[in-house]
Amino acid sequence: MNIFDWQKPLWDQLLDHPEKLPHAMLFAGPEGVGKFAFAQALAASLLCEQKAEGNMPCGRCSSCTWLTSGNHPDFRLIRPEEGEETGSGEEETPQPAVATRKSGQGHIRVDQIRTLEDFVFVGSHRHGSRIALVEPAEMMNPSAANALLKILEEPPAGVYFILVSSNWRRLLPTVLSRCRSIIFSRPDPLLAERWLAGQGVKSAAELLCLAGGAPLIAADWAEQGRLDFYRNAVEVLAEKSPDPVAMAAKWSALIKGEQGLTLSQLVETVQKWVFDLAMMKLAGRCRYHQSWLGKLEGLAAKASSAGLLSCYNDLLRIRAVVRHPLNTQLFLEDMAARYLRALATGRT
Ligand SMILES: [Zn+2]
C-alpha cells in the first residue's frame, strides 16, 4: 500500500501531525490523480502497528496483513454494490491494495451506511483508530447521505471518515459542511510522466496530455492499448472530411470490437478536441493535443469562437445522453455534422 510520488507533500502535511487529522475528510479532485490510493494508504497508516519511515504503513504487522486481505475489523470500505454496471475503472492503485477499484454506476444505499452505525459506536477491536472509507461518495443516494450525516454529527473519538469524490459538487451541502475538504489536483506533468515511464508506459507525455493530466487515466489507457484508438479518433477530427457520413463511418470502426473506444469515450475525445480548438482560438494554446498544434491552429483559424463554444456546449449535452442512443450511426453523423458546421462558422 503506497502513495504516488506527487502526493508526498500532502502525505507529510497530514501525517506529521496525526493528532490534528480531521475526523471527517473529503478527498476531492479530478479523476485519475490517485485519491483512492491515498485514502487506502492513509487508512493503513492510521491502523498500522509499526509504522515505517515517513509514516508509511509497514505492510507486515497483523493490522497491515488484515487490511491487505480485506479483513480488518476496524476498517470499512463502502462502495456501490457490485453487480451493477461498471464505469471507466479510472483509479488503479500503485500496489496491490485493500480492494481493486470498481467505479460502479450504482448507488450507495442507506442500508450500507447503516452498517456503519454499529461499527462506529461499538468500540475498536484493536484499541486504536477505526476508519470508514466511502467511495465514490457522490454515489450515496439521498437517504444514505442523510444517514451518514447523522453519524457525522456525533463522531466518537478515534473514528475517521474518509469520503472520496471526483464529483463532490453533487454531495449534499450538509455533508460537505461536516467534512474538511482536502483537494487533490493534477500532478506536475514531469512527475507524472516520470511515474508513467517507470510503469513501462510508452509515449507517456502524449498520453498524459490526452488524459488531461490525469496519470492514472493515462496508465489505464496504456494498459488497454488505447492510444492508437485515441490517435485515430483525433486524426478523423484533424483531417476533417467534408462529409459527416464518412466521418461517422470512421468513428464507427473505432468503437467496434472489444479493444475499441466506448461511445462515451469517443464523445469525450471529440469534446476535448473542440475544447482545444476554442482554446487555440481564444488563447493561442491547447490543453490536450500538444502533438497536433499545427492542425489545431489551421482549423481554429477557419472557425469562429462563438461557433466552437456552441459546438462544445452541444457536446456537453450529447454526453449526458450518450449511454443509450437509439441509433448509433445517426448519433455519430449528427455529432460529425455539428462539428463540421462549427468549423465553417468563421467563413462568413
Ligand atoms: Zn503495519
Ligand 1 centre distance from Cα of residue 341 (Å): 59
Ligand 1 mean position, distance from CA 270 (Å) = 46
Question: What 8-state DSSP symbol labels residue 302?
Answer: H
CA of 260 to the centre of ligand 1 (A): 41
Same-domain check for residues 27 and 101: yes
- Answer yes or no: is 204 within a domain: no
Number of structural domains, the chain?
2
Q: How many Å lie between the centroid of ligand 1 and the Cα of residue 62?
A: 7
Q: Are residue 337 and residue 228 in the same domain, yes or no?
A: yes
Query: What span, in angstroms and rounded, lies between the C-alpha atoms of 29 and 164?
Result: 9
> Is the preceding omega at residue 136 within 30 degrees of 0, hence cis?
yes
Last residue in a domain, options 150, 166, 183: 183
Burial of 128 (0-12, 13-18, 19+ CB in 10 A): middle
Tell me how far the alpha carbon of residue 69 lies from the centroid of ligand 1, in angstroms. Answer: 13
In angstroms, what is the span from residue 34 Cα to ligand 1's centroid? Answer: 21
How many whole angstroms from 177 Cα to the centroid of ligand 1?
A: 32
Is position 198 within any domain?
no
Domain co-membership, 248 together with 154:
no
| Ligand 1 center–CA 60 separation, angstroms | 5
Q: How far is ligand 1, taken at its centre, from the CA of residue 92, in Å?
A: 22
Q: Residue 233 is which amino acid? A: A
153 shares its domain with 248: no
How deeply is 238 buried, as exposed, middle or buried, from its count of CB atoms within 10 A (0-12, 13-18, 19+)? middle
| 116 CA distance to ligand 1 middle (Å) | 24
Residue 189 belongs to a domain: no
> In which domain, by residue range, is 331 found?
224-347
Same domain, 163 and 232: no
Claim to verify: residue 164 and residue 248 sit in the same structural domain:
no
* Mean pLDDT in order along the chain per 10 residues (348 residues): 92 91 95 96 95 93 94 94 49 36 69 90 75 96 94 87 94 94 95 96 92 94 89 91 91 83 90 96 93 93 94 90 81 94 82
Total Cβ atoms within 10 A of residue 180: 10
Tell me the CA–centroid distance for residue 71 and ligand 1, in Å: 14
Domain edge (last residue) among 155, 183, 211: 183
User: Which H helix or E strand runs over 109?
Assistant: none
Question: Of the residues 151, 183, 215, which one is the last residue of a structural domain?
Answer: 183
CATH of the domain at 50: 3.40.50.300
Residue 272 lies in a domain: yes
DSSP letter at 341 equals H
Single out the residue of 231, 222, 229 nearest to residue 292, CA to CA.
Answer: 231
Question: Are residues 164 and 22 part of one domain?
Answer: yes
Task: Give distance in angstroms: CA of 104 to centre of ligand 1.
Answer: 30
Measured between alpha carbons, how far is 102 from 83 in angstroms, rounded to an integer? 10
197 C-alpha to ligand 1 centroid (Å): 29
Ligand 1 center from residue 68 Cα (angstroms) = 10
Phi and psi, residue 334, nearest 5°: -65, -45
Chain Cα centroid distance, residue 137: 13
205 assigned to some structural domain: no
- One domain, residues 179 and 229: no
Q: Is residue 197 part of a domain?
A: no
275 and 169 in a common domain: no
Q: Which long-range contacts (CB under 8 A, 24 or more apart) does 52-59 make?
A: 54/8, 54/11, 54/12, 54/15, 55/11, 55/12, 55/15, 55/16, 55/18, 56/2, 56/3, 57/1, 59/1
Give residue 151 CA to ligand 1 midpoint distance, Å: 28
- Nearest CA to 35 out of 92, 87, 89 is that of 92
23 lies in some domain:
yes
Is 82 inside a domain boundary?
yes
Between the CA of 95 and the centroid of ligand 1 the distance, in Å, is 15
CA of 17 from ligand 1 middle (Å) equals 19
Whole-number Å distance, alpha carbon 37 to ligand 1 midpoint, is 16
Distance 56 CA to ligand 1 centre (A): 8
Tell me the C-alpha distance between 136 and 267, whole Å. Answer: 23
Distance 29 CA to ligand 1 centre (A): 28
Contact 233, 251 (CB under 8 A): yes
Q: How far apart are CA 62 and CA 102, in angstroms?
A: 26
Domain of residue 291, CATH code: 1.20.272.10
Here the cell at position 39 is: 485514502
Whether the CB-CB separation of 171 and 24 falls below 8 Å is answered with no
Helices (H), the chain: 8-15, 35-47, 62-68, 110-121, 142-153, 173-178, 189-198, 204-210, 215-223, 227-238, 244-254, 263-283, 293-302, 305-321, 328-343
- The full length of the chain comes to 348
Closest residue by Cα to residue 283 from 272, 297, 302? 297
Q: Are residue 34 and residue 147 in the same domain, yes or no? A: yes
Q: Are residues 169 and 283 in the same domain?
A: no
Amino acid letter, 295: K
| Residue 36 per-residue DSSP state | H
Q: Give the Å distance between the CA of 63 and the centre of ligand 1.
A: 6
Do 298 and 249 lie in one domain? The reply is yes
Q: How far is the CA of 44 from the centre of ligand 1 (A)?
A: 7
